[in-house]
């Protein structure tokens, strides 16, 4: 029935309009492991995304990936592929999904899941070596992820 | 989008970079006389995973490598000298020194290469430090040394130094097998919020840079290691602890059953490499 899908669509857009955040346990993946909707309900800021990627205590993406656009930051790793051109190879939903949980696309990958808080073995309290207390925080916030996606989309 | 095809492209892109890096082909001869085996065929139990095992020495800079080639340049040897004093010093209620029972330190050549080792009387696998402490508490009437700290790590470095050049050869079958299997499981278990196992970094990615670090195979034939980073001798368990902590996981403690098992397993991955401790690392 048409009415149902209309109601659904309204509900979705309604959610986005009040910028409701999608929590780590609520993320919906499409069949390719991508995530269509913004996690924060807001657009991303590519300049902030660049900072998240280069900062050790945040995304620390350069620990594993070389990115020419971030060459001001020293020491890029080579555990993962170079990210130059990532915005050509992937669309926004795919990049978002990849950041939330890359294991949906790359089975067994060593790339961490930046927006997952369950299912880990002996999770610690950040880098203290001590056991985590209560729920984990995701490695990156919803808005951090949107910012990184926005930055990756500029890598064409 | 066709993610499969893109995976293939991404994999291709990664190749040229990893080809530039990797271990070097230098040769290590200590004091111009001890020829070290720093690369050799992987032991049989590891041949599904890799063809060749390599000392962490190959992954360090030329300057760091050079420090290990001469005992006068190796800062770890100062601690070996210290331990020589302890070897000859009587301690505990029995008034005995290690030397009283074991003779010259040189007579211990070859011992380090076989540890961790099954001990029948104790009914378990003992690391070298556990064995030393058993001598202290059961035969000398002295207090156990703290695991991986001061005196224990110095004595381990000394016992290692007299075995340098001998091939690592720990037994993994017989009564030690169950412990070895447990260590193997720990090695391949992904831990922490980063969800990485030892193998994620030291088996799948050795030779690659991870930020400023050149990933080695995480071998322990060179332990104890003198690290330039903290300017002291570092024990195997302390190193394990640091690596697990870096996966954002809850670690185990030095001397724990888990680390004893992991030490046996990781040592066995280097069977055939020369005993190299005290080595120099960054």
Q: Where are the domains of chain A?
A: 44-114+140-156
Q: What is the mean pLDDT of chain B?
A: 93
Say if residue B124's pLDDT is above 70.
yes
Instruction: Quote the ipTM score.
Output: 0.88
Q: Which residues of B touch A89 (CB under 8 A)?
A: 6, 9-10
pLDDT over 90, % of chain B: 92
Average pLDDT across chain A, whole number: 91
Q: Which residues of A touch B251 (CB under 8 A)?
A: 124, 129
Q: What's the whole-number mean pLDDT along residues B19-34?
A: 85
The string of pLDDT tens digits covering residues B73-93 is 999 999 999 999 999 999 999
**pLDDT at B6 > cutoff 70:** no
| B71 burial level (CB within 10 Å; 0-12, 13-18, 19+) | middle
How far apart, in whole angstroms, are the C-alpha atoms of residue B273 and residue B168? 6
pLDDT at B21: 61
pLDDT at position B58 over 50? yes
With vertex at residue B83, the alpha carbon angle to CA B105 and CA B133, rounded to the nearest 5 degrees, is 85
pLDDT tens per residue across span B175-226: 999 999 999 999 999 999 999 999 999 999 999 999 999 999 999 999 999 9
pLDDT at B14 over 80: no
- pLDDT beyond 70 at B5: no
- As given in the structure block, the two tokens for residue B47 are 């041949």
Predicted confidence (pLDDT) at residue B8 exceeds the cutoff of 80: no
The residue among A60, A110, A114 with the most chain B CBs within 10 A of its CB, best to mutate, is A110
Active site residues of B: 243
Q: Of A75, A77, A94, which is closest to B1 when you measure between CB atoms?
A: A94
User: How far is residue B223's CA from residue B213's CA, in Å, rounded to a whole number?
Assistant: 19
User: Locate tokens 């690290």: which residue?
Assistant: B227
Residue B159 pLDDT > 90: yes
Residue B112 near residue B159 (C-beta atoms within 8 A): yes
**Are residues B10 and A131, on separate chains, in Cβ contact within 8 Å?**
no
Among A8-22, A28-42, A110-124, the minimum mean pLDDT is found in A8-22
Does B10 score more than 90 pLDDT?
Answer: no
Q: How far apart are CA B254 and CA B236, in angstroms?
A: 8
The pLDDT of residue B18 is above 50: no
**pLDDT at residue B1 is higher than 50:** no
Region A9-17: what's the mean pLDDT? 45
Report the distance separating Cα B105 and Cα B103, nearest Å.
6
Q: What is the pLDDT of residues A124-136, one digit of tens each?
A: 999 999 999 999 9
Task: Collect all residues from A whose CB is shorter than 8 A from any CB in B.
Answer: 32-34, 56, 60, 62-64, 66, 74-82, 89-91, 94, 105-106, 110, 112-113, 120-132, 136, 139
Tell me what the mean pLDDT of segment A71-86 comes to: 96
Model pLDDT, residue A18: 53
Domain boundaries A44-114+140-156, CATH class? mainly alpha
Phi-psi region of B224 (alpha: psi -120 to 50; beta: other; left: phi over 0): beta
pLDDT > 60? residue A4: no
Q: What pLDDT was estimated at residue B22?
A: 82
Q: How many CA atoms lie within 13 A of A89 on its CB side?
A: 20
pLDDT band per the 50, 70, 90 thresholds, residue B265: very high
Whether the predicted pLDDT of A7 surpasses 90: no
Res. B256 pLDDT band, cuts 50 70 90 = very high
Which residues of chain A have a CB within 8 Å of the CB of B245? Answer: 124, 127-129
């Amino acid at each position: 029935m048409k009415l149902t899908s209309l109601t659904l669509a309204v509900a979705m857009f309604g959610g986005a309009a009040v910028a409701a955040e999608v929590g780590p346990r609520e993320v919906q993946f499409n069949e390719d492991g991508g995530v269509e909707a913004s996690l924060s309900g807001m657009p991303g800021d590519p300049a902030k995304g660049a900072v998240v990627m280069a900062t050790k205590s945040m995304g620390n993406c350069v620990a594993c990936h070389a990115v020419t656009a971030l060459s001001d930051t020293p020491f890029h790793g080579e555990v993962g592929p170079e990210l130059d051109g990532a915005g050509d190879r992937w669309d926004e939903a795919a990049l978002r999904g990849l950041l939330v949980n890359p294991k949906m696309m790359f089975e067994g990958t060593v790339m961490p899941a930046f927006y997952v808080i369950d299912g880990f073995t002996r999770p610690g309290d950040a880098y203290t070596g001590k056991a985590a207390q209560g729920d984990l925080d995701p490695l990156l916030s919803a808005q951090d992820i949107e910012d990184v996606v926005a930055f990756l989309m500029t890598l064409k | 989008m066709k993610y499969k095809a893109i995976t293939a492209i991404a994999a291709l892109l990664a190749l040229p970079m990893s080809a530039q890096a990797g271990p070097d082909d230098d040769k290590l001869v200590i004091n111009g006389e001890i020829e070290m085996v720093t690369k050799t065929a992987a032991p049989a139990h590891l041949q599904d995973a890799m063809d060749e095992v390599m000392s962490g020495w190959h992954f360090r800079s030329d300057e760091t490598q050079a420090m290990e080639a001469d005992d006068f340049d190796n800062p770890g040897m100062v601690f070996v000298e210290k331990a020589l004093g302890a070897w000859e010093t009587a301690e505990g209620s029995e008034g005995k020194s290690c030397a009283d029972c074991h003779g010259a330190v040189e007579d211990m050549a070859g011992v380090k290469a076989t540890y961790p080792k099954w001990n029948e009387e104790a009914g378990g696998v003992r690391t070298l430090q556990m064995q030393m402490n058993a001598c202290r508490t059961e035969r000398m009437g002295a207090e156990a040394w703290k695991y991986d700290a001061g005196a224990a790590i110095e004595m381990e470095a000394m016992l290692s130094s007299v075995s340098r050049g001998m091939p690592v050869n720990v037994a993994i079958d017989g009564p030690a097998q169950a412990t070895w299997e447990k260590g193997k499981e720990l090695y391949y278990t992904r831990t922490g919020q980063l969800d990485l196992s030892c193998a994620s970094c030291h088996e799948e990615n050795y030779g690659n840079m991870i930020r400023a670090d050149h990933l080695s195979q995480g071998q322990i034939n060179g332990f104890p290691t003198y690290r330039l980073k903290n300017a002291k001798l570092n024990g195997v368990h302390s190193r394990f602890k640091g690596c697990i902590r870096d996966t954002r996981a809850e670690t185990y403690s030095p001397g724990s059953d888990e680390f004893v098992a992991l030490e046996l397993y990781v040592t066995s991955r280097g069977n055939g490499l020369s005993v190299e401790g005290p080595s120099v690392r960054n």
